[in-house]
Each structure stands twice: as structure tokens, then as C-alpha cells.
Amino acid sequence: MKDDLPDEVIIHETVLRDGIQNEETIVSLEKKLQLIDRLVGCGIKRIEISSFVNPRLVPQMADAEELWNRIERKEGIVYSALVLGKKSLNRAIVCGVPHVGIFVSASETHSRKNSNRSISEAKEEAFNLIKRAKSSDMKVRAGVMNAFGCAYEGDVSPEKVMDLVRDFMETDPDEICLADTSGMANPLQMHTMLSRLREITEEKPISLHLHNTRGLGLANVWEALKQGVTIFDTSMGGLGGCPFIPGARGNIATEDTVHMLCEIGIETGIDIEALIEVSLYFEKYMGKEFPAMIPHLKHHKSNSF
């Protein structure tokens, strides 16, 4: 059975960006630094630190510069940021960000709400950003948001997604990412989309940014693993959601994803027990129960709830 599954998976931890961007409790700079340290200590090798966005729209990201300046960057760890426009990329360049995500939405309505641009305008801008990022020695993941459906528009045509990816491929990014921003993907759709995608991307690494809005997150991971995907965005606690998508809910939880991978014998390099500890500690700080399931099971077991 394991024959058609990868041996290793890279977890791209996004709690500090997607995870908290919609949370009311503002996470202090010191707490963010502590979390980065502890998550890296658990074995997380890729971590999204922030987006560079207008702080009036996303107050949680207001300290991006200070955060980037104060992180103690460790060898072998990929520190990443989400970049949303020219100004945003400039800020990332000043901070010496080594790895950026640049995304275009496959939904016209979401594109306008998220970036105030039509898809074709957003695509053109993304191309310029990718070129500029690459010439600044950054690694780039180029991605398509709402690749599996849109909370505003419903179905999103796979053709539209493939066209965007085909265009992205011309800019030679380091990775192609499909984001299920509205949490509408299902495993059968995952199967179809990924087989089509592979024809376009060939050897280029593919990553998935999945949300568990309708409870299908890990089922989609399972299908993607069978299709050879080895990079998954996850968020500790299962926090997360796009501020410009109504009803957007959590990313797939790092704890639940790592647990599943561990159970089926796929290596992530992450110490699940240590991760659960960090998750419960952060949950206490945020003052609310996180959607992730695995940490709470353990909690009940240890009888200290």
C-alpha cells in the first residue's frame, strides 16, 4: 500500500500568517518570536512568518518588519512571507526575506475583494513581482487561490486554474501552490486537478494550501499524497481563514496532519508530542479552544482539562 505514497512530507507552518490574521487577540511580538522558536524546536522546517499587508486591513501583521528583524534565523529552516503587491514586496526585500508566496485568485469576485484587481490585472502584477523577487535572490512559490471553488462564485473552472498555472510556469517559480482558500475541495476533484496539473508542471514541486471548512481537509491530503504531493501548508491548532472570504475557516491543523502522516509511516521530522505542548500553550494564550483534534485528545487523556 505504502508503495504509492511519498516517504517524506514538508510541513509549511502558517499559523503566524494565515492562522492568526483573522484572530481578534493580537499576538505580541515577543510571543510570535517565542512561537517561531518553539515551532522550529519541534522540527518544523518551513515557517511562514507574516504577510506584508496594510496594517489597517490586517492589524495582526503590523509588526512584520520588527518581527523579521528580530528572528534568529537557523540553518536549514525556510522562513517565508506572503507578498501581495509592489509595496509589499519592497518591504520583504528590505527585511531580507528569503522565500515568498505570490498568489493570484482564480475567482474574479475574490480577486477584486482581496486585491482590488481583476484576475488579469492581478496576474500581470504577480508576474512582475515574481521577476523582481527572483532577481532579489528570493525563492518563490507561485500560487492560485480559490483553485477548487469560491465562496462567492461557487464552482471555479479547472481550465481557469490550469491557464493561470501555465502562465506562471513561464516565470519559472520554485514551486506551484494550489490553495483551497474557500475550503471547497473534495478528494475526487483533488484527483482530477492534480493529474491535470502534473501535465503542466512536470517536475516542478507542487504544494497545497488546504482549509478544513467542510471537514474534508485530511481526505484531500490523502488523495494528494497518492498523487505525489509532498508539501502541505498547515496551521497549528487549525486556526486560519482569509479575511476576504465569508465563513472562511481554519487551515488543516498541523497536529492532525502530522498525526495522520506519522500513523501511515510518512516522515515529517516533527515531534508530535512537543508540537501538542506548543499548541496547548498557544491555545491558553489566545483564550479559546482551537479546532485541532489531536491536542485535545491527549489533554483529556492526561486528565488535566
Which residue ranges make up the site for Zn ion (CB under 5 A)? 18
**Given the complex with Zn ion, which of 129 and 252 has the nearer CB atom?**
252
Give the containing element (helix H, strand E) for 51: strand 46-52
Q: Nearest distance from residue 136's CB to Zn ion, in Å?
A: 25
CB 58 → Zn ion: shortest distance, Å?
A: 13
CB of 72 to Zn ion, least distance (A): 27
List the beta bridge partners of residue 139: 99
Residue nearest to Zn ion (CB): 18
Q: What is the largest CA-CA distance in the chain?
A: 55
Identify the CA nearest to 140 among candidates 81, 99, 93: 99
CB of residue 183 to Zn ion, shortest distance in Å: 9
C-alpha to C-alpha distance for 195 and 181, rounded to whole angstroms = 20
Min dist CB 33 to Zn ion, Å, is 23
- Choice between 18 and 283, CB closer to Zn ion: 18
Which residue, 201 or 235, has its beta carbon nearer to Zn ion? 235
Q: Give the type of residue at 203.
A: E
Would you give the distance in Å from CA 29 to the centre of its chain? 21
How wide is the angle at C-alpha 66 spanned by C-alphas 63 and 67, nearest 5°?
80
Sign of the Cα pseudo-torsion (269, 263, 179, 228, in order)? positive
Cβ closer to Zn ion: 189 or 305?
A: 189
Residues acting as catalytic residues: 242
Instruction: For residue 185, give the C-alpha cell.
Output: 475541495
For 224-239, b where at least 16 C-beta lie within 10 A, e where not — what string? bbebebbbbbbbbbbb
Report how far residue 106's alpha carbon sits from residue 146's, in angstroms, rounded to the nearest whole number.
Answer: 6
Cell 508566496 -> residue:
101
The nearest distance, CB 63 to Zn ion, in angstroms, is: 20
Is residue 295 helix, strand or coil? Answer: helix
Nearer to Zn ion, 18 or 255 (CB): 18
Considering the complex, state which of residue 18 and residue 125 has its C-beta at the smaller distance from Zn ion. 18
For residue 235, give the 3-state DSSP assignment: strand
Which helix H or strand E contains 302, and what residues bound it? none
228 conformational bin, left if phi > 0, alpha if psi -120 to 50, beta if neither: left
